[in-house]
Structure 1
Amino acid sequence: MVDITIRGAGIFGLSIAWACACRGAAVRVVDPHGPMAGASGGLVGALAPHVPENWNPKKAFQLDSLLAAGRYWSDVADASGHDPGYVRSGRLQPIADAAALELARAREDTAKELWQDNARWTVTDTPTSK
């Protein structure tokens, strides 16, 4: 007998299954393609802090989730004996024009204030290739 059935064995489905099992639920995961078969077709499971302007409880919750992810995946590795491949690697985003560059630079200060030393918003110049 199961308490909960999760459809999908991608990063989110398996994470939900793990969280439920850790809380004592009997969990069944159903996915016709098997675990981590790539059904999402994209970069699912990626967490990044929201842009710092118009900060609200939802954005704060996502930041807290991002900051808790390292411990969460470490616990998964310890319990399973397998490296889940979690890495906090950052994100690169090209800036299209001067207005977007000005906005990105303004976000650096706000992000530092809101995120403190837990995450960074950094705008860098890249050299042009010859």
Structure 2
Amino acid sequence: MAQYVITPINENRAKRWEHVYGRTELPVKFPLPHLACTQRWGDVPVYYLDNTAVPDALLDRLATFEARRTRTSYQEARVAVRREWLIRADECQPARKAMPTPAAPSWQPAFPFLQKVPLRPRRPQVRFS
């Protein structure tokens, strides 16, 4: 199956993507946007982030972001993010086929801080006897 990627339309959006995603090229599930009815944006064309092509650490980071934004629990946001993450089509270039090269950059260098900083605070485990 071919993988498709999208990039932002301008420099400001590229900075935002760099801040949120850690890079400016994201894998998407389908080459064409789909019309979605969302609470946040209304009826807009969107791309679906390919959750299988990004590291779990990024999905956890997006879940933390979504939990703060919607004021829901981390667990609810994590389920929602792993189900689907929408990217507005009007904020990015049309999808293009990803270049299958063995020297493709890995996701790890984009997130060097992930090994050092926990994405969410660890809670002490309470054991019941």
Q: With CA pairs under 8 Å and 6+ residues apart, which has the higher RCO, 1 or 2?
A: 2
TM-score tier after normalising by the smaller chain length = under 0.3
Q: TM-score, normalised by structure 1?
A: 0.24
Q: Which has the higher strand share?
A: 2
More helix by share: 1
Larger C-alpha radius of gyration, 1 or 2?
1
**TM-score w.r.t. length of structure 2:** 0.24
